Amino acid sequence: ISEDALEVARINVEQYSLAEKINLFQSDLLEVIEDGEHFDLILANLPYIATDNEKKFLAKNVEDHEPGTALFAGSDGLDLYKKLFQQLAEKSVSFDLLIGEFGFGQTRALTQVLDKYFAQNYEVVEDEAGIDRFFVVRQV
């Protein structure tokens, strides 16, 4: 959604000669995507900090230098993932693989949302510290 972030992505695509493989869009999640589109990979590192409890644990320098829209996602931190999954369903967007990052202590709430949209076609993957950190959804 951020023009500044999109410009950084454009620079990276150009620097690594990926223009033939990557399409960039400025959009509120999947807003500009056509119904029924297919993607090989959807990679989402959306904001996932809960405004209710986790904000107090945020380092001051992070909060001072990052826009709130890049950090916070509602009272449980999952608002944007819920919105993404809803858009995928409403637009009948298909994909081979959907990967996303989420925060410490969000596994139970996130898996409830994943169950709603993807049944059991997902797995939760731990980071190097052994903490649940990523979800991987495979569409068959």
Predicted confidence (pLDDT) per residue in 80-136, tens digit:
899 999 999 999 999 999 999 998 888 999 999 999 999 878 999 999 999 999 999
The phi, psi pair for 98, rounded to 5°, reads: -125, 125
**61, pLDDT greater than 80:** no
As a whole number of angstroms, the distance between CA 130 and CA 140 comes to 28
Contact criterion met (CB below 8 Å) for 84 and 44: yes
HSE-up of residue 47 (Cα within 13 Å, Cβ side): 26
pTM: 0.81
Q: pLDDT higher for 140 or 30?
A: 30
Residue 132, classed as helix, strand or coil, is strand
As a whole number of angstroms, the distance between CA 21 and CA 3 comes to 21
Predicted confidence (pLDDT) per residue in 38-55, tens digit:
999 999 988 666 776 655
Distances (CA, A) of 136 to 11, 48, 99: 27, 16, 5
User: Of 89, 93, 91, 73, nearest to 81 (Cα)?
Assistant: 73
Residue 19, classed as helix, strand or coil, is coil
Q: DSSP secondary-structure letter at 18?
A: -
